[in-house]
Amino acid sequence: MASYDYKSGKKRIVEILNNKLEVFEKDKLPKENDFTFDNAYESWITSIFVDIRQSSELFSNEDKEEMSKIIRSFTSEVIEILRLEDNLREIGIRGDCVYAIYTTQYQFDIYTILDLSFQVNTFMIMLNNLLSEKGFQKIYVGIGLSTAKELVVKAGRKGTGINNMVWIGEAVTKASNLSSLGNKNGYRSIVLSSLTYSNSIDILVKRSGEKAKKWFTEHYDYTYKTHYDANIIKTDFNEWIEGGMKDE
């Protein structure tokens, strides 16, 4: 039976605690290759989480083939949408949720992530139409977005190849929490933090007119502070769906 070498572990911890660590404040977060165990970066990021509602019911479906096809269809195309932006810094799957994290130096960068949420929201209409055609169970999601300045650290065991980025701050945690509100208890599917809203609404208004402000409803509570919900879709994409999703 393998046993943890706690004496060597103590030495490694002391080395980490005594090591000089440089923290760089950057407007744009560098790519993962620039991170080492001797540095950290602080930058503005925006995170998006797409969380399946009532996933426990889906996962309890006795038809394992149907369930597998639903999950694979959902994750495949949400990942395809979320990886479209060059500012992507991390993307992955956490249980029943697909998430992505982006460096967002400018307000327009934040707006582009909000636009991705509209694309995901419209995709869910397409997916559910296709699931219905097969007689499969429909699924619904909450889409959470949050923007904040975060400390980003490469963490893991040096020299083993086992490491990952750790996001220390509000953006990732809040986006995850906000996604749990979407499509539940009267909330519409897209839920965003006040910083995401305030840094993207002017661009949306410039592109779609003053009516865009009416697409959002403001909420406030002790846990999430000011946040907004919406159910915005991409018009051309939705018209194609309603037209029968013809390939030509």
Is the pLDDT score of 37 beyond 90? no
Between CA 163 and CA 142 the distance in angstroms is 29
Is 4 within the bounds of a domain?
no
DSSP-derived letter for residue 92 is E
- Structure confidence by residue, pLDDT tens digits, 213-230: 999 999 999 999 999 999
Is 80 within the bounds of a domain?
yes
Bridge partners (DSSP) listed for residue 145 = 48, 192
- Structure confidence by residue, pLDDT tens digits, 143-197: 999 999 988 787 766 666 666 777 778 999 999 999 999 999 999 999 999 999 9
Is 2 within the bounds of a domain?
no
From 225, 223, 216, 165, select the one nearest 194 (Cα to Cα).
Answer: 225
The encoded tokens of residue 161 equal 């190849």
Packing angle of the helix pair 201-208, 107-133 (nearest 10 deg) = 70
Is 54 within the bounds of a domain?
yes
Between CA 231 and CA 122 the distance in angstroms is 9
Number of domains making up the chain = 1
Is the pLDDT score of 205 beyond 90? yes
Between CA 142 and CA 173 the distance in angstroms is 15
Please give the residue that has the higher pLDDT: either 14 or 172: 172
Between CA 113 and CA 118 the distance in angstroms is 9
Domain that holds residue 118: 21-242
Is 67 within the bounds of a domain?
yes
Between CA 222 and CA 220 the distance in angstroms is 7
Packing angle of the helix pair 235-242, 107-133 (nearest 10 deg) = 10
Between CA 212 and CA 206 the distance in angstroms is 9
Please count the other Cβ atoms lying within 10 Å of the Cβ belonging to residue 42: 17
Is the pLDDT score of 72 beyond 50? yes
Contact 148, 170 (CB under 8 A): yes
Tell me what the pLDDT averaged over the chain comes to.
85
CATH number at residue 217: 3.30.70.1230
Contact 47, 172 (CB under 8 A): yes
Between CA 48 and CA 64 the distance in angstroms is 28
Q: Among 8-22, 52-66, 122-136, 213-227, whose mean pLDDT is lowest?
A: 8-22
Q: What share of the chain in percent tops pLDDT 70?
A: 79
Is 16 within the bounds of a domain?
no
Is the pLDDT score of 6 beyond 50? no
Q: Among 120-124, 134-138, 141-145, whose mean pLDDT is lowest?
A: 134-138
Q: List all residues 6 or more positions away from 70 whose beta carbon is below 8 Å from its beta carbon.
A: 58, 131, 136, 137, 139
In this prediction, residue 109 carries a pLDDT of 96
**Ramachandran sector of residue 95 (left: φ over 0; alpha: ψ -120 to 50; beta: rest):** left
In this prediction, residue 119 carries a pLDDT of 93
Is 170 within the bounds of a domain?
yes
Is 60 within the bounds of a domain?
yes
Between CA 24 and CA 163 the distance in angstroms is 20
In this prediction, residue 189 carries a pLDDT of 98
Reduced to 3 states (helix: H, G, I; strand: E, B; else coil), residue 46 is strand
Q: List all residues 6 or more positions away from 245 whose beta carbon is below 8 Å from its beta carbon.
A: 126, 129, 130
What type of residue is 245? Answer: M
Q: Among 14-28, 77-91, 107-121, whose mean pLDDT is lowest?
A: 14-28
Please count the other Cβ atoms lying within 10 Å of the Cβ belonging to residue 118: 22
